[in-house]
Amino acid sequence: MLKPHVHSERPDQTVFKVRLPNGSEGELVEDIIGYRRRHGRKEYHVKWLGQSKLTWEPQENLNYVQDLIARYHQRQAHKRKTTKNRETRTSFEEGHVTDMS
């Protein structure tokens, strides 16, 4: 069982430290909530477990949370599909015929 570590900057928040397979220490990621390309690099907006802070992290820092990254991209694809279906339905209901592709 992991023992929570209280971060000194914000003692009201718990930081969950873990030992990574490569021997280094890391924090637990709760969720991936955003994605961007910055200076040609992929970055993900990360919500850390037990913290309110969000940070942008380069993809190479997130090797151990590929499942969360995949889940984020699946949610985004579902949102895009839902939005496109809603736009098509609205156009049809209003009597507009448009090519949405």
Question: CB neighbours of 5 closer than 8 A, spacing ≥ 6?
Answer: 14, 15, 16, 17
Q: Say if residue 11's pLDDT is above 60.
A: no
Rg (the chain; Cα; Å): 19
Say if CB 46 and CB 55 are below 8 A apart: yes
Fold that domain 5-93 belongs to in CATH: OB fold (Dihydrolipoamide Acetyltransferase, E2P) (2.40.50)
Q: Say if residue 80's pLDDT is above 50.
A: yes
* CA gap 17, 5 in Å, rounded: 6
Domain ranges for the chain? 5-93
φ/ψ (deg, to 5) at 17: -90, 145
Say if CB 71 and CB 34 are below 8 A apart: no
Q: Say if residue 78's pLDDT is above 70.
A: yes
Task: Lowest mean pLDDT of 27-31, 35-39, 80-84, name the range.
Answer: 80-84
Return the pLDDT at 47: 95
Return the pLDDT at 93: 56
The proportion of the chain whose per-residue pLDDT surpasses 70, expressed as a percent, equals 67
Give the pTM.
0.64
pLDDT in tens, 32-59: 999 999 999 999 999 999 888 899 999 9
